[in-house]
Amino acid sequence: MKIGYARVSTQEQNLDMQIRALKEAGCSKIYTEQQSARKDRPELAKAIEHLREGDIFVVWKIDRLGRSVKELVTLLQEFESRKIDIVFIKDGIDTSTSTGRFLFTIISAFAELELNIIRERTIEGLKAARARGKNGGRPKALTKSQIQQLRAMHADKSIPVKDIQNALSISRATVYKYLKTDSTQ
């Protein structure tokens, strides 16, 4: 039996292309998830639990299964011990062959290298932006003068918090956040 697994990293991404490829590959059951490979993946766990000796586990691409060589090789070893083969459609890998197992190991190493390079570039880009005076993150909700206005309104006990919220177009939580912080921010 062919069991498929499809995963995208974010809710904005779409599983349709992977599901279509898994159906074309003859998968009778397909497990899907929309979350990062680093988190607990309950659907992957269900798929692995469902697999039996002689089954073929089909995944669209190697990076959909895992991000580290260690994780991928551990899965490959588990599947080998249970006599389950893995097929990666896009990568053209079939672990029922010795060449497929070798390619699986090499490609998983490149996938991990690519992830590490992206991570390094991101960190360097953030450092460079900070050096230019750019700080990432969400902009402050209020200016210094608005913070002073908020504090003055809050000091007047006749003004309800709801009126402060409406006057400054902010949430209740934001009102209290700025009341807790230093006025120089």
- For 39-53, what is each residue's pLDDT tens digit? 688 999 999 999 999
Domain boundaries, the chain: 2-127, 144-180
- Confidence class for position 182, pLDDT limits 50, 70, 90: low
Contacts of 47-52 with C-beta under 8 Å, sequence gap 24+, read 47/3, 47/4, 47/5, 48/75, 48/78, 50/3, 51/3, 51/79, 51/82, 51/84, 52/1, 52/82, 52/84
First to last CA, the chain: 62
- For 127-163, what is each residue's pLDDT tens digit? 999 899 888 878 888 999 999 999 999 999 999 999 9
The question of whether 158 is a catalytic residue gets the answer no
Bridge-partner residues for 7, per DSSP? 33
Please tell me the distance from the alpha carbon of residue 46 to that of residue 68, in angstroms, as a whole number: 20
The distance from CA 171 to its chain's CA centroid, rounded to whole angstroms, is: 29
pLDDT tops 60 at residue 185? no
The dihedral of CA 122, 116, 114, 23: what is its sign? Answer: negative
The single residue of 9, 81, 145, 171 carrying the catalytic annotation is 9
CATH for 2-127 is 3.40.50.1390
Give the C-alpha distances (Å, rounded to integers) separating 82 from 54, 78, 85, 152, 167.
8, 6, 9, 70, 65
- Choose the most confident range, by mean pLDDT, from 38-42, 71-75, 79-83: 79-83
Give the angle subtended at the CA of 21 by the CAs of 19 and 24, to the nearest 5°.
110
Query: Looking at per-residue confidence, does 114 or 16 come out higher?
Result: 16
pLDDT tops 60 at residue 19? yes
Query: Looking at per-residue confidence, does 96 or 31 come out higher?
Result: 31
What integer is the mean pLDDT of 85-101? 90
